[in-house]
Structure 1
């Protein structure tokens, strides 16, 4: 079993969490958080969703010994763009109706589920290039699946940290002016929509 690639997997997974579309999506989710703990849990749920689909796709292609071309995943990448647009619009809607809503434990669970679902889509879109890379560089079924698992653990840690960092500016303890927090949320939502449009254009042009 090759040790070096496996040791590198967690570092690669950790840094993978900091890609632009990942950060924009999760930062948009945590705009409603006033708790570092809950924001970091959102990051963990994103990582779990991301890892779930990567391991599922990895098992299908590695154990089934299927072959595929990386270009076949362009439509899944475009789906990420659509998801970013929906996420941005959804947050704008929540911002508009914020005064009429009451924060509850159920809303916390909803945000965690949302983060998990976003992670699922990101994992499905990014799994093609990752699995193809593993198939061409790692020898052996066990080593390949172990690489994907360790990669996933790294991505969970990376997004947990990222979600915590991005939630700080939206905390009432840091910025007490509600208007500033609203403007920041508005900017985050518009940026999420804009990046979604760019992703779709790049993948389908």
Structure 2
């Protein structure tokens, strides 16, 4: 029994790392992390995204597993569509802010925004997460452990990505590079957000 639970938790951690690198997650966090030249801020943007993502999954996921309920498909589609809207907003906002000097901004603001983005992604991904937890976990306690270790995997995965994103800024002091990166990630965010809305909107509106 213990061996089986350990295997489930190990699976959860591995899936968490993989989950963190999904395109919509990476693009959304990149719009935040690319606005600073400080490696610590870039890295912590990933950490706070993971914390927000995990907090949502714990609240919604465990509650749904304990009650034996799943998120309705139309609600899940609506939440996914909202993620697309968020990506477009982040991209447009990033393009607007790229006109100012990159690298400025409040430390706390970075973390709050990353946390909120993580919460939204947690809402959108909670339906699949709950289904996976319910399939492998026998009790609410096991579901809690699974989601918690899954969340730890997302934190580690996003921390690694945002740290790698910030590494180039350690070897340069030129402001043109972060400005270019801000604009590039923002444009990608807008385009992918529109694509994501088209893909998820069919299940939402139909």
Assess same fold via TM > 0.5: yes
Q: How far off its partner does 1:19 sit?
A: 0.6
User: 1:89 is matched with which residue: 79, 89, 92?
Assistant: 92
Residue equivalent to 2:192: 195
SS in 2 for 1:96: coil
1:164 aligned onto 2:163: yes
Residue equivalent to 2:126: 127
Residue equivalent to 2:148: 149
Q: How far off its partner does 1:70 sit?
A: 4.2
CA RMSD of aligned residues (A): 1.8
Instruction: Decide whether the 8 Å contact of 2:101 with 2:179 is kept in 1.
Output: no
Structure 1 unpaired stretches of 5+: none
Q: 1:120-158 deviations in whole A, cap 9, x for unaligned? A: 000110011110121123222211111001101111111
SS in 2 for 1:58: helix
Q: How far off its partner does 1:92 sit?
A: 1.2
Residue equivalent to 1:12: 15
Instruction: Decide whether the 8 Å contact of 2:35 with 2:104 is kept in 1.
Output: no
1:183 aligned onto 2:184: no
User: 1:57 is matched with which residue: 52, 55, 60?
Assistant: 60
Residue equivalent to 2:104: 103
Q: How far off its partner does 1:65 sit?
A: 2.2
Q: How far off its partner does 1:184 sit?
A: 2.5
Q: How far off its partner does 1:9 sit?
A: 1.0
State which drifts further: 60-69 or 28-37.
Answer: 60-69
SS in 2 for 1:78: helix
Instruction: Decide whether the 8 Å contact of 2:70 with 2:130 is kept in 1.
Output: no
1:204 aligned onto 2:204: no
TM-score (norm 1): 0.90
Q: How far off its partner does 1:109 sit?
A: 0.6
SS in 1 for 2:98: helix
Q: How far off its partner does 1:182 sit?
A: 2.1
Residue equivalent to 2:78: 75
